[in-house]
């Protein structure tokens, strides 16, 4: 049932983001609608096969061998065996902020990327909790939608800014108004579409990760550590890719919390602690 629901969510989100691209073309007028329709088709094809490479490249992740991180490989291998998953490719990014994400179109083509800060600054048990969360994304098959959504969201934002600098014929007031609407609404709508799916998938990955570990405490402790670290150690990422990470790598204070693709850490931790208290994982 989870697999069917996830696949349905995936195609609905991809359809909505594709429709948003076409809608921006319509607002710009003229032949833009056909250009953006073609772009949406290309993005879907490219996103299915290459969104993981885009996500890894944008984070400057490097493939690492088992000899470079034996403990990390050992924990991932243990968790994948428990989950009945193939061993993913393992990457590391140069950021000192503890964080991680998973990407790929399916479990057979999955990759897990961790930051240097995660393995250097956090206890191994908490790192294992983070890995369980990310591998749960793989098992729940929701890494594809996150990767494609991040990529299309980046394209929508980029196109909007391109229009700001190069578009807007002063003699065409209708096109200029449409372009202005696209500039404002496009990135916001892309964020809201990602937000609509990302929060629920984070709760699901937390619960699945706790079950994979057999206890929720390591992941709950890890989330609290990640939140403290994110405030102390900045991390620069494309805002469109923030939904990929276990913890929002960008600062979310005040009104920005309303548009965060991640649910509040306090609520995530509360749910995990409640699982241990209820003894549902024993």
The distance of Cα 19 from the centroid of its chain, to the nearest Å, equals 20
CA distance 190 to 23: 12
pLDDT in tens, 158-180: 666 666 565 555 445 445 555 55
CA distance 96 to 230: 10
Q: Catalytic one among 78, 125, 134, 266?
A: 134
227: annotated active-site residue: no
pLDDT in tens, 112-159: 999 999 999 999 999 999 999 999 999 988 777 766 666 666 666 666
Query: How does DSSP assign 155-184, residue by residue?
Result: HHHHHHHHHHHH---TT-HHHHHHHHHHHH
List the helix and strand counts (H, then E) for the chain.
9, 4
Structural domain that includes position 246: 2-278
pLDDT in tens, 58-89: 899 999 999 999 999 999 999 999 999 999 99
Q: In 3-state terms, what secondary structure has residue 100?
A: strand
| Residue appearing with tokens 């394209």 | 155
Q: What is the pLDDT of residue 55?
A: 86
Instruction: Report the domain count for the chain.
Output: 1
């Amino acid at each position: 049932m989870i697999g069917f629901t996830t696949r349905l969510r995936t195609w609905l989100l991809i359809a909505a983001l594709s429709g948003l691209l076409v809608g921006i073309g319509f607002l710009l007028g003229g032949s833009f609608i056909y250009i953006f329709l073609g772009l949406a088709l290309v993005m879907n094809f490219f996103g299915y096969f290459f969104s993981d490479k885009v996500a890894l490249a944008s984070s400057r992740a490097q493939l690492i061998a088992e000899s470079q991180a034996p403990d990390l490989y050992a924990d991932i291998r243990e968790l994948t065996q428990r989950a009945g998953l193939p061993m993913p490719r393992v990457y590391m990014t140069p950021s000192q902020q503890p964080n991680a994400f998973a990407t790929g179109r399916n479990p057979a083509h999955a990759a897990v990327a961790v930051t240097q800060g995660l393995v250097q600054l956090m206890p191994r048990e908490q790192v294992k909790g983070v890995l369980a969360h990310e591998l749960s994304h793989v098992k729940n098959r929701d890494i594809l939608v996150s990767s494609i959504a991040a990529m299309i969201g980046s394209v929508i934002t980029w196109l909007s800014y391109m229009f700001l600098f190069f578009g807007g014929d002063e003699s065409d007031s209708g096109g200029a108004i449409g372009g202005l609407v696209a500039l404002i609404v496009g990135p916001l709508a892309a964020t809201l579409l990602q937000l609509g799916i990302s929060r629920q998938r984070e709760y699901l990955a937390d619960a699945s990760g706790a079950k994979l570990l057999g206890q929720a405490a390591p992941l709950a402790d890890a989330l609290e550590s990640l939140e403290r670290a994110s405030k102390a150690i900045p991390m620069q990422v494309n805002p469109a890719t923030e939904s990929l990470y276990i913890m929002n790598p960008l600062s979310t204070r005040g009104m920005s919390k309303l548009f965060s693709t991640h649910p509040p850490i306090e609520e995530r931790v509360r749910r995990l602690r409640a699982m241990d208290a209820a003894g549902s994982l024993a």
